[in-house]
Structure 1
Amino acid sequence: MTIKDTPQEWEVRATDTPFVGNKTSVRTDDVVMPDGHVVRRDYQVHPGSVAVLALDEEDRVLLIKQYRHPVRQKLWEIPAGLLDVPGENPLHAAQRELYEEAHVKAEDWRVLTDVYTTPGGCDEAIRIFLARDLSEAEGERFAVEDEETDLEYARVPLDELVRGVLAGELHNNCLVVGVLSLASARASGRLDELRPADAPWPARPFEA
């Protein structure tokens, strides 16, 4: 038996969008269950995101600490951002986010992992990249606003982040998934098997 997620789409009898926000919306679908009865499912419609686990030559991960209002905490995170343009190339978006949030560029890019953040209530898909061979970006720093005006920065050894995740001290999903994925790839000897940066992404098809 192959353990692999598979595409499937059950019949939707009716759909409505009761809320449309700046970047996301809420959709209500009447979905036909396998036994024939119909149930209502509400979920957030999301454009998708990218995140970057940037690893320097000293085996440290580039982190950003940012206030997140829904959870009322400042969280340590890896650089990340929305796929603002439909069909946007996720690698280009990740390179942009690394530049805008950290003023850093990378020469070596691989896909670390792809995840759905909350598949029971949101269709957000995130592609997490591993970026290596880092250097400071050229030109002026990107102008920040709102929560980004209060960012903190750090470079933390990967092993220390694994400890913090397992101790329940770090909670951002992209950081947790990225850190544990990289640690697992190393421990299993599969680091060289990571997909190329332009690998297909069925959850969010993109242009080359």
Structure 2
Amino acid sequence: MELQDTPQEWRVVATTTPFQGKKTSVRTDDVVMPDGTVARRDYQVHPGSVAVLALDEQDRVLLVKQYRHPVRQKLWEIPAGLLDVPGENPLHAAQRELYEEAHVKAGDWRVLTDVYTTPGGCDEAVRVFLARDLAEAEGERYEVSDEEADMETARVPLAELVRGALAGELHNNCLVVGVMSLAAARAGDGVEALRPAEAPWPARPFVS
């Protein structure tokens, strides 16, 4: 058995879009099942996202704390954001998010992991980057608004984040996936074996 996800697309006999938002929408598809029956599936259509696990020389991860209305909590997270333009290079998007949310730049970038956040109800794909060799960005700070205007920042040791995730104290998907992936990479072949920053991403193809 080859342990790898494989592309597959079952036949859709009808589709509607009952909701269209600014960045995402909801789609309803009538999908033909293997036994020939037709099942209705509702899901959120999402442009895709990037997230950045920014690690400094003291082995601390750069975090932001932001209010998330759907879960009614302020969550510790790693910098992240949407792919604003179809086909956008995810590395460029990640560099933008690190600048906008933390006013930080990085000299070394690698792909940490790629995930689907909630494949049973949303087609969102996220690429999580590892960024090292951190420095303060040049120029003026990005002007934030809405939830980001109340955002806090911190730098926390990686080991403390692993502990917090396992203890059920930290819940953000990208944060948990990112810190666990980095810990696993270190325990395995090492960070230098991670994919390059512009590795192909079939879930969200892009132009280098």
Q: Considering the TM-score relative to the shorter chain, is it more than 0.5?
A: yes
Instruction: Determine the C-alpha separation between the residues in 2 that align with 1:188 and 1:87.
Output: 32
Instruction: Determine the C-alpha separation between the residues in 2 that align with 1:177 and 1:3.
Output: 19
1:159 partner SS: helix
- The match for 2:3 is 3
Instruction: Determine the C-alpha separation between the residues in 2 that align with 1:190 and 1:44.
Output: 36
Amino acid at match of 1:38: V
- The match for 1:74 is 74
Kindly indicate whether residue 145 of structure 2 is the aligned counterpart of residue 145 of structure 1: yes
- The match for 1:27 is 27
Note the C-alpha offset of 1:106: 0.1
Q: How does 1:189-200 map to 2 (within 5 A)?
A: 189-200=189-200
RMSD value, Cα: 0.5
Note the C-alpha offset of 1:187: 1.0
Note the C-alpha offset of 1:50: 0.1
Note the C-alpha offset of 1:2: 1.1
1:100 partner SS: helix
Between Structure 1 and Structure 2, how many residues are aligned?
A: 208
CA displacement 1:66-88 (0-9 Å, x = unmatched): 00000000000000000010000
Q: How does 1:87-106 map to 2 (within 5 A)?
A: 87-106=87-106
1:181 partner SS: helix
The normalised TM-score by structure 1 is 0.99
**What percent identity do the matched residue pairs reach?**
83
Note the C-alpha offset of 1:189: 2.9
Instruction: Determine the C-alpha separation between the residues in 2 that align with 1:81 and 1:55.
Output: 18
Q: How does 1:115-154 map to 2 (within 5 A)?
A: 115-154=115-154
2:199 partner SS: coil
Amino acid at match of 2:73: Q
1:56 partner SS: coil
CA displacement 1:103-136 (0-9 Å, x = unmatched): 0000000000000000000000000000000000
Instruction: Determine the C-alpha separation between the residues in 2 that align with 1:155 and 1:180.
Output: 17
1:177 partner SS: helix
The normalised TM-score by structure 2 is 0.99
Amino acid at match of 2:94: A
Amino acid at match of 1:82: L
